[in-house]
Amino acid sequence: MSTLGADLQWVSLEPSPVIEAYKKDVDRTLIRENLKLTPDERVKKMIAALHFMEEVRRSRKAPG
Amino acid sequence: MTDFARLLGALVEGHVEFIVIGGFAATAHGSAHVTVDLDVVYGRSAENIARLVGALSPLQPYLRGAPPGLPFRLDGDTLRRGLNFTLVTSAGDLDLLGEAAGGGTYEALLPRSEVRSVLGFQVRFVDLETLIHLKRAAGRPKDLERIAELEAIAEEARKT
CA–CA gap between residue B83 and residue B160 (Å, rounded)? 39
Asked if the C-beta of A9 comes within 8 angstroms of chain B's C-beta atoms, the answer is yes
Domain count, chain B: 1
Q: What is the pTM of this model?
A: 0.92
Chain B residue whose CA is closest to A11: B137
CATH code, domain carrying B96: 3.30.460.40
Across the interface, which of B29, B102, B160 has its CB nearest the CB of A9? Answer: B102
pLDDT above 80 (res A53): yes
CA–CA gap between residue B26 and residue B126 (Å, rounded)? 9
Q: How many CB pairs under 8 A join A and B?
A: 103
* pLDDT tens, position by position, B75-91: 999 999 999 999 999 99
Domain that residue B105 falls in: 4-159
CA–CA gap between residue B62 and residue B59 (Å, rounded)? 9
In this prediction the ipTM stands at 0.93
Query: Measuring CA to CA, how many Å separate A39 from each of A29, B43, B59, B108, B153?
Result: 17, 24, 26, 23, 13
Helix ranges (H only) for B69-127 are 76-81, 106-109
Asked if the C-beta of A1 comes within 8 angstroms of chain B's C-beta atoms, the answer is no
Neighbours of A38 (CB within 10 A): 12
Of the pLDDT bands very low, low, confident and very high (cuts 50, 70, 90), residue B115 is very high
* pLDDT tens, position by position, B37-96: 999 999 999 999 999 999 999 999 999 988 888 888 899 999 999 999 999 999 999 999
